[in-house]
C-alpha cells in the first residue's frame, strides 16, 4: 500500500493485470456481477498513474453482500469497512507481495520441504496452522493434502481477532505426491 501515493510511468502490464483479475472475478461472481470495469488512471493507455489497478464491479443486488463479498474475498481481497460512502463498497488487496501469489511457488516449495523432511530427517507427520480468514493458505494446505484436525485458539490477523485452524499431514498417505 506504500505505492498508493506514487505516480509511476505508464506500465503496459496494467491492462493484462486487470483482464486476468476480471476473469477470476467473473468466474467467482457469475451472474451476480452485471459489469466488471477497469477504472481509474491505470485504465488510460499511455498515462502515468498511481500503480494500483482499480476495478469497479456493478452487482445485481448491492445490499445482499452474500452474493459477492465472500467471492471477492476468496481472491485475496478484504472489504474496507471504514468506507464513509454508503453507496459503494470498497475492497483492497490483502497485505503481501501479490505479484508472486497464485504461481504455485509456495505449493512447490512446501512439497520439496515435506519431501526433504521425510527423506533426510525421517519426519512422517507434519503440522500446520493458519487463520480461518486466510483462504489462500487454507486452499494451499488442502491442495497439498493437509487435513483440518482442529480449530483451537484465536490470534490477531490483519487487525482482527481470528480463529486458528490446525492441519495435519501424514507422509504415509501422500508418498506418491512428494519430491525426493
The CA–CA distances, whole Å, from 136 to 53, 75, 96 equal 21, 8, 12
SS3 44: coil
Q: Which helix (H) or strand (E) holds 26?
A: helix 14-29
pLDDT digits (tens, 9 = 90+) for 19-47: 888 899 999 999 998 888 888 888 888 88
Q: How many other CB atoms are found less than 10 A from the CB of residue 130?
A: 20
pLDDT bin (cut points 50, 70, 90) of residue 2 is very low
Q: Going by C-beta distance under 8 Å and a sequence separation of 6 or more, which residues neighbour residue 18? A: 38, 42, 43, 53, 55
Indicate if the pLDDT at residue 99 is higher than 60.
no
pLDDT digits (tens, 9 = 90+) for 116-149: 788 888 889 999 999 898 888 888 899 888 999 9
**Using only C-alpha atoms, what is the Rg of the chain?**
20
Report the distance separating Cα 126 and Cα 149, nearest Å: 12
Question: Helix H segments across 30-156?
Answer: 69-73, 105-121, 135-144
Q: Cell 461472481 appears where?
A: 29
pLDDT of residue 1: 43
Domains identified in the chain and CATH numbers: 2-97 (3.30.460.10), 105-177 (3.40.630.30)
Amino acid at each position: 500500500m506504500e505505492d498508493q501515493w506514487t505516480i509511476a510511468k505508464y506500465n503496459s502490464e496494467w491492462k493484462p493485470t486487470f483482464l486476468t483479475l476480471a476473469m477470476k472475478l467473473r468466474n467467482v461472481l457469475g451472474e451476480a456481477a452485471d459489469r466488471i470495469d477497469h477504472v481509474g488512471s491505470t485504465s488510460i493507455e499511455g498515462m502515468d498513474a498511481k500503480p494500483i489497478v482499480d476495478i469497479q464491479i456493478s452487482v445485481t443486488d448491492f445490499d445482499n453482500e452474500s452474493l459477492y463479498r465472500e467471492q471477492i474475498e476468496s481472491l485475496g481481497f478484504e472489504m474496507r469497512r471504514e468506507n464513509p460512502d454508503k453507496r459503494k463498497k470498497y475492497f483492497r488487496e490483502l497485505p503481501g507481495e501479490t505479484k508472486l501469489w497464485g504461481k504455485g511457488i509456495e505449493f512447490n516449495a512446501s512439497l520439496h520441504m515435506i519431501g526433504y523432511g521425510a527423506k533426510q530427517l525421517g519426519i512422517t507427520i507434519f503440522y500446520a496452522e493458519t487463520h480461518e480468514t486466510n483462504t489462500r493458505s487454507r486452499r494451499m494446505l488442502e491442495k497439498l493434502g493437509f487435513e483440518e484436525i482442529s480449530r483451537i485458539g484465536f490470534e490477531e490477523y490483519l487487525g482482527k481477532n481470528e480463529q486458528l485452524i490446525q492441519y495435519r499431514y501424514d507422509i504415509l498417505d501422500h508418498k506418491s505426491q512428494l519430491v525426493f
